[in-house]
Chains A and B, each alone.
Chain A
């Protein structure tokens, strides 16, 4: 997996290159917008991590140029500008995800993975499956093995989100954004209680747990090995 990091702050860039390298990615780095655009148009990347404020050419202009050239590489915008307006601007300019600085590295990794899977264009399906857990998007019903599981609408959406990212970490922030469309972190860790309820419904009385808490990062739904 090859990534392009366009970030002008040396320290952040070094941290990103090192962290992503250790996570198994091949990383190219550019410190300014023009060079970044050149790399993005010529190289073959799986995803681009893009700072908004860059010397030479700002991140949104770079994205605009890239999308105008019909290059659809998934792009994650990293920015210190975190208001909803900034987010909307970033996504309108052609960004696929928006992460506000400062961020937890695990959050960045989880989002990058989600982004690249989205790029792989999952076939339109009406049923999601993880091990013996099955979620039917049409009938809005959930079964584990032969046993049908009753879920509240919000729990259904939580599970859907986790199943779409099965095998990968989904952070609390991602869940808040995807399920509630809330772009703020509540003071109380409300997500954890939702997850323990969901876990109670899908994992209790089954031999293998599917829903796992990943400490310091979020949650992961995966089939037992």
Chain B
């Protein structure tokens, strides 16, 4: 997309209709005006202006410095030359008096030496005696010290007026000695510097302005992409993502992070929708049964034994519903991570043994041999209640579905530690779970075909997974050849 696209994009919702109406009447102008107004409001423009101001100030400062140093250098040179001349002349005067001075000035003024030096010796009244200036420069004060004046200089047949700087010395008897130097070169030099600096400054500022606006527009465009994606997501299109450029710069990172966040939100939303659907669907059947039983109780003739029975059955049905709700709440509790602060050091082997003890009579009654094999001292940090519930759910499953064809079957609970991983495995000798279904059984309310006839709510493994995740652990299903092995792994507590 181009920059103009970016500029046409309306910023917010407010005033959009109004602006659109105006845009119909004055298509191009309005668009441009809107774009400009939008640009004015942006952070990117403020950034560009700031950037430009700092840039301009530093360019100006550098140029000023260059100008001052070079102009100063030329001036100093002029002054040094003048000083040297005057010192020379003063020596001559001291040795040879006025006539000597006149002589030497005459010698120096003779001919054009091309160094731009001017000499003049006058009487006290200002009448020239000797020198290469026609007369006493107009307006020059009669006082020892530096003077600025102009001289007429013949250049290629024309007479030009050149600026000059010099020193006036009133020697005894009020004779005057003027030594000067043509500074038109210096002035030209200074002028050139000024022009050069001015132009380079303008070019630099122009570049800065263009650079700043390009930068700001670039910035604006990428922020705008994020904004538009966010707007579309808010509008309901959860699968929209911020385009990546592959430059791996900050914007790409931001976009990647936002996309990750959107992925997570989408995943959660989908999961939530599924859960809601499943809850609604799975609770409808028992609620319908409950209603039917109550209706039946109502219809039965008074004093019959049946109403009590029907009501009892209804209560059992309600209890099963509540158990389902409680299981859902436990999963939510584990998933929310709220119980993390309840984590304490636990002996995984003991925890498994306690759960096995609870199930041992049921196992025996159903023709299972239940074994616990644990390495002593396998410690993890966790929530005893949720972990016990998870192990209980796994035992429950193993005893329900893990029966082999040749009884007695066996269920083994094994707790071991490998390096810094504590593992808990529950293996049975039942039909197992086909590899294709091993992921889906962890989803809420998923019950595989063979198990549909047995009582259960399809939430047991969901809780196991939520509990494993809460403890930074993993849960996986594997083939026990024959049978199923549920493999839980947690970070072991060093010690």
Contacts and interface: CB of A to CB of B under 8 A. Distances in A.
Interface of A: 82-85, 88, 102, 104, 154, 180, 182-188, 190, 193-194, 196-197, 216
**What 6 A-B pairs come out closest when comparing CB atoms?**
A193-B361, A184-B389, A193-B362, A84-B385, A187-B396, A83-B333
Contact of B358 (A85, A186, A216): A186
Interface string B313-334: 0010001001100100110010
Nearest to B459: A187
Given A83-B329, A182-B388, A216-B315, A187 B323 contact: yes
Given A82-B326, A102-B322, A187 B333 contact: no
Given A83-B333, A180-B354, A183-B385, A188 B362 contact: yes
A197 B361 contact: yes
12 contacts: A84-B383, A85-B338, A102-B322, A184-B385, A187-B393, A187-B396, A187-B456, A187-B457, A188-B362, A188-B396, A188-B400, A190-B362
Contacts of A216: 312, 315
Contacts of B424: none
Contacts of A185: 323, 326
B339 A194 contact: no
A216 B316 CA distance: 9
B342 interface: yes
Given A85-B339, A102-B322, A188-B399, A182 B361 contact: no
Contact of B365 (A83, A187, A193): A193
Contacts of B323: 185, 187
B339 A83 contact: yes
B308 to A, nearest CB: 10
A196 B362 CA distance: 11
Nearest to B456: A187
Contacts of A180: 354, 358
A103 to B, nearest CB: 9
Contact of A83 (B338, B358, B399): B338
B357 interface: yes
Nearest to B334: A83
Nearest to A183: B385
Secondary structure dominating the interface of B: helix
Nearest to A191: B358
Contacts of B460: 187
B149 interface: no
Contacts, number: 64
A148 to B, nearest CB: 22
Nearest to B338: A85
Nearest to A184: B389
Contacts of A196: 361
Contacts of B319: 104
B365 A84 contact: no
B329 A182 contact: no
Interface in B387-445: 388-389, 392-393, 396, 399-400
B333 A184 contact: no
A121 to B, nearest CB: 30
A193 B364 CA distance: 10
A18 to B, nearest CB: 17
B358 A182 contact: yes
Contact of A182 (B365, B385, B456): B385
Contacts of A83: 329, 333, 338-339
A180 B361 CA distance: 15
A184 B393 CA distance: 11
A41 to B, nearest CB: 33
B361 A190 contact: yes
B55 interface: no
B478 to A, nearest CB: 23
Interface string B200-236: 0000000000000000000000000000000000000
A186 B393 CA distance: 7
B136 interface: no
B359 interface: yes
Given A84-B385, A85-B339, A193-B365, A184 B326 contact: yes
A186 to B, nearest CB: 5
Centre residue among B329, B330, B385, B399 by max chain A CB count within 10 A: B385
B327 to A, nearest CB: 8
Nearest to B312: A216
Contacts of A183: 385
Given A187-B460, A193-B362, A194-B361, A84 B339 contact: yes
Contacts of B362: 188, 190, 193
Given A82-B329, A85-B342, A182-B385, 14 more contacts: A83-B339, A182-B358, A183-B385, A184-B326, A184-B389, A185-B323, A186-B358, A187-B393, A187-B396, A187-B456, A193-B361, A193-B362, A193-B365, A216-B312
Contact of A154 (B338, B357, B365, B399): B357
Contacts of B315: 104, 216
Interface in B341-367: 342, 354, 357-359, 361-362, 365
A200 to B, nearest CB: 10
Nearest to B457: A187
